[in-house]
Amino acid sequence: MAKVTVPTDQQAELYQISPGSVRISTAAAMALGLKGGRLYRDAACGCINLIQNYPEGCYANCAYCGLARERPGDPEENSFIRVAWPLHPTSEVVARIAAKEAGGEVGRVCISQVHDKRAYPDLLAILAQVRQAAPAVPVAALVSAELLDEAKLRELKHLGVDTIGIGLDGASEAIFNQTRGQGVRGPHSWAGHWRIARLARQIFGPLRVNLHVIVGLGETDRDLVELFYQLRDEQIACYLFSFNPEPGTALQHAPRASLTRHRRIQLVKYLIEERELPHGAVAFDELGAMIGLRAPAAVVEEAIAAGEPFMTDGCPDRHGRMTCNRPYGSYRPGEPFRDYPFQPTAEDVAVIRGQLRLAELDRGE
């Protein structure tokens, strides 16, 4: 990407940078009335997801991200983020959050950092505005881990953040390094992300810290399953995303995980987290692909019928119900749902069963 040559102190007016402006997800913009239209099948959008805006996007360089430093094109041509995440004055967004909260309830606000030296003070500035306008709304900070330290994590908690999200994204150290670390001249380190995740886990408590993990960056099923066990044991939440190639990024032509693979991964994750699936119940071939699932048929059947394993993973609202359902977060309108932003219907469950193709796995029966 061409470099932005405007000095930092002159960027605010030209580029509507944070903290005066923020980007907001399309679904959240609809929920706040900043954008017209309806979500497919009237999915409700419970969480207002905000992301910081700087002219160069992000100084990290993740291979799949439309904000990455070295993506092709000019900053001004960054169409993905402009279309999918419209830019608004923070004051206007916050006023609408307050108005929506006054007329009902906002499930949660999530403020997302990019990797930029301004990102921490600007996170505090946006957080202060949200907390002042809507003090009862739970707030998550989706942080760029290596911009933080223990003092900053404690400060965020003190200022009202109840949940820390961290984009680990890569399910193994090798995949992380290839897509976010040295392999792409990025600043991120696997060890640094885990260090901050564990510090945050100590400070915020069980399941108040989550790692975002992407299915489809080249990891094996074994990588994912081992990670699910690890995070369950540490009481750190794991929220799945599905790789969806972004035009203009280094991985724009990379294939996606099949729906069958994605559904099986969702099912196994649910069984590990919610049904105490024992270690060794998932069998893999020599390449790490899942070939067997040895769990009681009734338990597997009940999980599938409930539909819950296939819903979006996300932070809860103030009542403990999942609210960050990210409509279109992992797929485009018109494509099959990768994760359902609402309770799947009986017809949806029938479709899911077909996608799972469980009869092809060794069930140990």
Closer CB to ligand SF4, 108 or 264, in the complex: 108
Give the footprint of ligand SF4 on residues 5-34 (CB under 6 A).
none
By CB under 6 A, is residue 49 in contact with ligand SF4? yes
By CB under 6 A, is residue 239 in contact with ligand SF4? yes
Closer CB to ligand SF4, 295 or 315, in the complex: 315
By CB under 6 A, is residue 50 in contact with ligand SF4? no
By CB under 6 A, is residue 211 in contact with ligand SF4? no
Residue whose beta carbon is closest to ligand SF4: 165
Of 27, 47, 23, 43, which is closest to residue 35 (Cα–Cα)?
A: 27
By CB under 6 A, is residue 165 in contact with ligand SF4? yes
Q: Residues binding ligand SF4: what is the number (CB under 6 A)?
A: 24
**Interface region with ligand SF4, contact rule CB under 6 A, candidates 17-25, 138-146, 193-201, 227-235:** 138-146
φ, ψ dihedrals at 238, nearest 5°:
-125, 120
Closer CB to ligand SF4, 244 or 295, in the complex: 244
Q: How far apart are CA 113 and CA 216, in angstroms?
A: 23
Give 213-273 as a DSSP string. EEETSS--HHHHHHHHHHHHHHT-EEEEEE--PPTTSTTTTPPPPPHHHHHHHHHHHHHHH
Give the footprint of ligand SF4 on residues 316-335 (CB under 6 A).
324
Q: Which residue in the set 43, 48, 142, 145 belongs to the binding site for ligand SF4 (CB under 6 A)?
A: 142
Q: How far apart are CA 192 and CA 146, in angstroms?
A: 6
Give the footprint of ligand SF4 on residues 90-129 (CB under 6 A).
108, 110, 114-115
By CB under 6 A, is residue 52 in contact with ligand SF4? no
Helix, strand, or coil (residue 364): coil
Specify the DSSP element, H or E, that contains 98. Answer: helix 90-102
By CB under 6 A, is residue 218 in contact with ligand SF4? no
**CB 295, min distance to ligand SF4, A:** 27
> CA-CA distances (angstroms) from residue 138 to 19, 48, 89, 317?
20, 11, 21, 7
Please give the sequence-ordered ranges of beta strands (E in DSSP) within the chain, or none if there are none: 21-24, 47-52, 87-89, 108-112, 139-143, 161-169, 209-215, 237-242, 282-284, 290-293
**Interface region with ligand SF4, contact rule CB under 6 A, candidates 76-84, 163-171, 299-307, 357-365:** 163-171
Closer CB to ligand SF4, 115 or 262, in the complex: 115
By CB under 6 A, is residue 181 in contact with ligand SF4? no
Q: Which residue in the set 65, 123, 209, 277 belongs to the binding site for ligand SF4 (CB under 6 A)?
A: 65
Give the footprint of ligand SF4 on residues 288-317 (CB under 6 A).
314-315
Q: How far apart are CA 39 and CA 238, in angstroms?
A: 26
Give 44-75 as a DSSP string. ---EEEEEE--TT--SS--TT-TT-TT-SS-G
Q: Which residue in the set 31, 32, 47, 293 belongs to the binding site for ligand SF4 (CB under 6 A)?
A: 47
Helix, strand, or coil (residue 150): helix
Query: Contact at 8 Å (CB) between 137 and 101?
Result: yes
By CB under 6 A, is residue 137 in contact with ligand SF4? no
**CB 255, min distance to ligand SF4, A:** 20
Alpha carbon 148 to its chain centroid, in Å, reads 18
Helix, strand, or coil (residue 293): strand
Of 203, 49, 78, which is closest to residue 141 (Cα–Cα)?
A: 49
- List residues near ligand SF4 by CB under 6 A: 47, 49, 58, 60, 62, 65, 67-68, 108, 110, 114-115, 140, 142, 144, 163, 165, 167, 210, 212, 239, 314-315, 324
